[in-house]
Structure 1
């Protein structure tokens, strides 16, 4: 009886294949990525808004968020004092960027304008600078999504500032998809409040005072609005389930 010697490379190949299969079995599941930008059918099929020669422009500055949630991973509340960082549930970009992108899209559509932050723009068009500081961004799975934000609108021509605070609490169902949708609704509510603030500043009456140059030619100087502008009121959200 004759014995055939196997090539030395075959056992090594089997060993490598077995190692690869073992590693594949131990590999962590793929990550899921979430965004706050609207991607539903209504947003995709809605006619694109054109802002040709807008009555005003906005500058939406980068949005500040609390350090504990400024992560690529979703950070969810487990109780009043503990959070969990979800490695497989991630934002498509950092939370501050997600909020800013969603707000910019909402504001430009609601105000029929252009967000010119970081871009040159023509003189002679009123510009309203919007700043948003998110002080709380809480995610309670199966309960609610909460955004507590201080925001301001500054009219650059008159330097008048409106500063407001909104605490928006959106009830959510089970699952992380529902949690992100809740945050999306909260951002939409916040954009409605900011839009109202921009409109209020734009509608505020101005005081004009004559100024005389050396040559005797009179010009007009715009002054600050004489009437106070109050913060817009949001419709109360439905009560959230207990966080528990």
Structure 2
């Protein structure tokens, strides 16, 4: 009887622990689904190689967890780090991968960010800095970026900035989609600046 009772208690304890266990994390991607499905290049198909440097960003964003602000918090300093809602890799790597593939697709270029390029081939080097990211639940995603573009066979560099504000609906999924759309806007803007630079346009940062 004692053995049966002990087994019963053990089963109840296991069931209680399972009930109290945290739900499995949800994972999100910044990759542009239009780019992945082969959207035609939007900048005239600039051929060549691109390399994207590691994204510079404040340390508080360099983590896999989503960092969000509750709508009720207004402009206050409090943010939430969501353990159960994560990017598929650390945010700086997620953003870099999404931008590198998105820019390459828009330009009709080869992404040499990780694979390298043939010796002697010129490459367009891109460096991006995340200056601001404010994800407000049930409201919007605000993001500010700056970047430079330089060709290895040319000395002048082009420096540009972009601020985007994406309205979002309720829920964390909506915030992740808003960040994804902001990343796609940034990829569009960088691709246009590369094309304008190569065409020697007077204002390579014009939207």
CA distance in 1, matches of 2:147, 2:88: 24
Following the alignment from structure 1 to structure 2, what is the Cα–Cα distance between the partners of residues 200 and 126?
17
> What displacement does 1:233 show?
3.1
Q: Deviations over 1:85-129 (max 9, x none)?
A: 112111111111111111112111111111112433224432110
- Output the CA distance in 2 between the equivalents of 1:55 and 1:22: 60
Asked whether the 8 Å contact 2:35–2:105 carries over to 1, the reply is: no
Structure whose residues are more often helix by fraction: 2
Residue pair 1:65, 1:95 contacting (<8 A) in 2 also: no
Is the Cα contact below 8 Å between 1:162 and 1:229 reproduced in 2?
A: no
What's the TM-score once normalised by structure 1's chain length?
A: 0.74
Q: Distance in 2 between matches of 1:133 and 1:38?
A: 19
Write the distance in 2 (CA, Å) between the matches of 1:229 and 1:162: 11
Cα deviation per residue 1:210-237 (whole Å; 9 max; x = unaligned)?
xxxxxxxxxxxxxxxxxx7424233xxx
Q: CA RMSD in A?
A: 2.2
Q: Please list the CA deviations of residues 130-189 of structure 1 after superposition, one character each: whole Å capped at 9, or x if unmatched.
A: 000101121011111111111010111112200111111111111111111111111111
**Which of residues 19, 22, 27 is equivalent to 1:28?**
22
Partner in structure 1 of residue 154 of structure 2: 158
Deviation string for 1:27-55 (max 9, x for gaps)? 1222111111134xx55654799xxxx83
Q: 1:190 aligns with which of 154, 167, 186?
A: 186
1:59 aligns with 2:55: no
Count of matched residue positions in the alignment of Structure 1 and Structure 2:
199
Compute the TM-score of the two structures, normalised by the length of structure 2: 0.87
Q: Which has the higher contact order (CA 8 A, sep 6+)?
A: 2
Structure 1, unaligned stretches of length 5 or more? 1-5, 205-227, 235-244
In structure 1, the residue matched to 2:205 is 232
Question: Which shows bigger deviation, 182-191 or 120-129?
Answer: 120-129
